[in-house]
Structure 1
C-alpha cells in the first residue's frame, strides 16, 4: 500500500493568515478603540471564533498593542506610538503653537476641545483638553477617527479635494443612526462646510456627543489643522458656541501664518 502524503499549509501561509486575522481584529475596534469592547463583539465584527479572537488578543496584549481593562479590550499605547510616527514632523510644532488657543477655547466654552490633522481618510488628534467631568468620547491624543463623521474631519476634507475624493470612493461606515453614509449626501455636506467655514457633528461619530469645528489656516491660506469643541447633545449648544470657535480659530490662524512667514524669511 502506497503511503498517503498529507500536504500541510506552508509556514508562510500560516503567518500571513495570522497577520490578516490580527489586522481585522484591530480594525474591528472602530470608534471604541479607546473606550473598550468585549471579546465576543470583537470576534463577531472580525468574523472570527471567540477562541481565535481571545488567543490573538492575548498575543497583542503581551506586545502592548491592546490593553485589557476589566472584561474589555482597548487599543494600546504602543499602537498609538506607531501611529504618531507617520505624522509629518511639523505637526508637533503646530500642536505646540496652537496649544494656548485650545486653552482659550476651553475657558470660553467649557467643552472638550480637540486639535486634529488629516491623515489619509482619517483624522489624527494632536491634543485634547477637557475639564474634571469629560463627556465620554472615542477620541484620545494620537488616536484616529474616520473623517466622514467627525466635525474636524469634515472641515479638513472641505479643503483637501484629493482626500475628499478618496473618502467618497470608500464605503462610508455607519457609527450611529445619524452618520452620513450616502456619498452624495456627504459631498453636499462638505460643500456647505466649505461655504460656511464651520462643520457640525450631531451624534454622527458617537451617540450623545455633538461637536463643532473650524479650519486653522497657515501660510498662503493653506489649512493645516482643525479645532473643535464638543459636549453632550441637548446640553451643549454647538450652534451657540460657533461664534467663540470662529474667533479663536481666526486668532490661531493669524498666529500660525505669522510664524510661518517668519520661518520662511
Structure 2
C-alpha cells in the first residue's frame, strides 16, 4: 500500500538528454558564423567570439577547407564558399514553393482582382514561376518564365532590399533605364532599398513598364533569407483612391503567410 502511494506521487521517468557530437556541433557553429559574416574571419577572432580554443578552431577550419565549405585567403583569414550556398539551395529546391504559395495567391487575387505573380531571383533579374490572372478587362501580362530586372519591379525590389548589403556592389553599372521613372543611380537605389526594408514591401511606380505599377513583398526562410516574392501588378487606370495602401498591406500579409508556411514545411 505504501509503495502504491509512493508510485502514484512519483514523477514519470525522464528521457535522458540527447547527446550531441561535440566536434560536429562546433564545426557547424564555425560554418554558420562564417556564412553570415560580412567578410573573412581569423582564427583568433573566431575562437574569441565562439568561446573555443584557437587550436580547436584551426583544426576544424582545416577540415572545412578540405571538404570545400571554407576557403583560406592569402592573409590567413577564412570565409565560407559557395558550396554552403549550393547545399542550402538544394534544400530550398526540394520545397515546392508554388504549392505553398498557391493558397495565399488565390486569396490575394480575389481581394485585389489583379494579376498575382510568384517570382524568384536569377542573377540580376526575377523569374516569374507562377501567376494568377486578373479578372479585369484591362490587365497586366507577363508569362510564367518571363523575367524583369531586380531594380524595376515590385517583386525584384522586395528581394533586392532583403539582401541589399550583399547585392549593392553588383547593382552598380547595371541600373538600366526602362521608363522615365526607372531608378538609375546607386544613391537613389540606396534610398529606395532603405525605405523598402523599413515598410516591409516594395513599390514599382511604373519603372519597368509605362502605366503599370507593381507591389511586392519578400517570402523568407526561417532565418530571414529571401527565397522569392509575391507581387501584384496593376495598370494605373485600375487604381482608385485608397487602393495602393490597401494592396501593399495585402501583399505583405500574403508573403508573411507563405513565409510562415515555409517555416512549418
Query: Shorter-normalised TM-score: what interval?
Result: 0.5 to 0.7
Counterpart in 2 of 1:103? 106
Render the CA deviation track for 1:180-220: whole Å, top value 9, x for unaligned.
11111011101111111110001111011011111111222
If you compute each CA radius of gyration, which structure gives the higher value, 1 or 2? 2
Q: Is the CA contact 2:201–2:216 (under 8 Å) kept in the aligned structure 1?
A: yes
Which residue is equivalent to 1:214?
A: 217
Matches within 5 A, 1:197-236: 197-236=200-239
Relative to the length of structure 1, the TM-score reads 0.60
CA offset at residue 126 of structure 1? 1.0
Offset at 1:162?
2.3
Cα-to-partner distance string for 1:69-103 (whole Å, 9 max, x where unaligned): xxxxxxxxxxxxxxxxxx97718711221112111
Tell me the equivalent position of 1:7: none
* C-alpha contact (below 8 Å) 1:230/1:238 kept by paired residues: no
Partner residue, 1:256: 262
Unaligned 5+ segments in structure 2 are 1-88
Note the C-alpha offset of 1:127. 0.9
Aligned to 2:158: 155
Task: Give how far 1:138 is off.
Answer: 5.7
Q: 1:166 aligns with which of 159, 166, 170?
A: 170
Alignment match of 2:245 (pick from 208, 227, 239):
239
Q: Which residue of 1 aligns with 2:123?
A: 120
Partner residue of 2:143 out of 140, 148, 154: 140
TM-score by structure 2 length? 0.60
Specify whether residues 248 and 141 from structure 1 end up closer, same or farther in structure 2 by C-alpha distance, changes over 3 A only: same
1:212 is paired with a residue of what secondary structure? strand
Rounded to whole Å, the distance in 2 between the matches of 1:135 and 1:151 is: 19
Distance in 2 between residues matched to 1:188 and 1:200, nearest whole Å: 13
Confirm or deny: 8 A CA contact 1:117 1:123 kept in the other structure.
Answer: yes
My pick for the range that moved more, 190-199 or 138-147, is: 138-147
Q: How many residues align?
A: 172
Helix, strand or coil at the partner of 2:183: coil
* Correspondence 1:190-201 to 2 at 5 A: 190-201=193-204
- Partner of 1:253: helix, strand, or coil? helix
Conserved? CA contact 1:217–1:225, under 8 Å: yes
- For 1:156 and 1:144, locate their aligned partners in 2 and report how far apart those are by CA, in whole Å: 14
